[in-house]
Amino acid sequence: MDGAIHMAAGPALKAAGRLWVQANGPLATGRAMITPGFNLRAQWVIHTVGPIWHGGNQNEDALLASAYGESMRLAHENDITHIDFPAISCGVYGFPLPRAMPIALETLAKSLGKGVVKVVSMVIVSPNAVAHWAETAKQIFGPPD
């Protein structure tokens, strides 16, 4: 997902990220930063570093929750009312999807409950995962209206 976003946004997105790192140092796991969206329809891109899965004994759950929470905080600080998320860390970083789903959705539910943003969407690219995300969302948020 990260590569597709960078490709669609154009080279200015990568350049903006480099400038941010030069000014602030590497983005730590669980933290987030924001850049313009450049060639994307989205005005902003919030970048976050999710944890690499190491078996669950290296604070991965808390770092994943922080990645979502920090992204929501930045959205609020920048008056972003709608935010879309991929399944952070569930691809090449190997975070197990059944473990990640409730962490992600519970973290987002807390932020929504505080009015941090108005709308949150999960962008799930695997058809097999959609039903699992929907079931977990139903357990956390209740059935859709």
Active centre residues (catalytic): 2
- Token pair, residue 59, equals 């604070």
Using CA atoms, how far apart are residues 145 and 143, in angstroms rounded to an integer? 6
Amino acid sitting at position 57? N
Tell me how crowded residue 20 is: count the other CB atoms within 10 A of its CB. Answer: 16
Of 93, 89, 102, 92, whose CA–CA distance to 133 is shortest?
Answer: 102
- Report CA 20 to chain centroid distance, whole Å: 19
Cα angle: 60, vertex 66, 71; to 5 degrees: 135
- For residues 2 and 14, is the Cβ–Cβ distance under 8 A? no
